[in-house]
Amino acid sequence: MQQYYEFSWEGIGDKRLPFSEETWLKYVGAYRNLSDPTELGEADDPEELGDVKLVDTQVVTFDEIIRLIGKVAGGTGSQMDDNQENLRLINEAIMKLRSYGDKDNADLLQRFMNEIVDHDLLEAKLTIEENYRAFVAEVALGQLEVYAIKWGVQLSDLERVYRNYEIGSDHIDYIGDLKANSQMEESEWDNLPDNDGKPAFLKKIQFKTVLQDDVTKWLYQTKTVYGELN
């Protein structure tokens, strides 16, 4: 019997819906994947992937995916058939995460499979989840390096800002140091056509303002995806 609090996707008579709950969640997921996360409201805890639940279908959870990865990583040649089935389930779960709007975590899990698990690069002394968290932190550090080069800021300053930033906060600790130590001439912004012919003093003033605005948005987006560094 259906629970009283479950919405009936079948409808009644002429009220029958032209799509299923799964189809609806895919539409919602597509919207989330295409939307700017800064416009979707307060972010979820980046340390938790959360659940995607459908009535009468399996819940897709981070713990379940990690459990399946552990079975694949710990498998032997005699368990080849089981491993193939687990790989199928992992890929299916990752596809569901992506379909239902969790594209960032789905992409990270897929990269973890391709770059770490498939190449037997798991640290034996760590759990599968700890291996995954370490991998995500490494990817995040790579993103920090790219951003530091793009804006001509010191990587150490950017990392300190990132570590101390709280998602959704209007206050950014150490942003003053980041701006003070930045090198406008080394940034991509300095080479934009719109900046040609501008007086140097005006460019420097504008650069500091644009840098702070961009860092604010970038911090929110990046830490929402990658969470804390190890």
Whole-angstrom distance, CA of residue 84 vs CA of residue 51? 24
pLDDT at position 72 is: 87
* Predicted confidence band of residue 75 (pLDDT cuts 50, 70, 90): low
Q: How far is CA 157 from CA 57, 148, 162, in A?
A: 47, 9, 9
The pLDDT value given to residue 50? 46
Residue 83's pLDDT is: 79
**Least confident interval from 32-41, 183-192, 201-210, 211-220:** 32-41
Which range, of 34-38, 95-99, 109-113, 140-144, averages the lowest pLDDT? 34-38
Question: Tens of pLDDT along 102-159?
Answer: 889 899 999 999 999 999 999 999 999 999 999 999 999 999 999 999 999 999 999 9
The string of DSSP codes covering 104-160 is: HHHHHHHHHIIIIITTT---TTS-HHHHHHHHHHHHHHHHHHHHHHHHT--HHHHHH
Q: How is the chain split into domains, by residue range?
A: 1-122, 140-230
Rounded CA separation 7/94 (Å): 26
Q: What is the mean pLDDT of residues 5-34?
A: 50
The secondary structure element, H or E, covering residue 61 is strand 60-61
Q: Mean pLDDT in the chain?
A: 80
Taking the whole predicted model, whether its pTM rises above 0.85 is answered as no
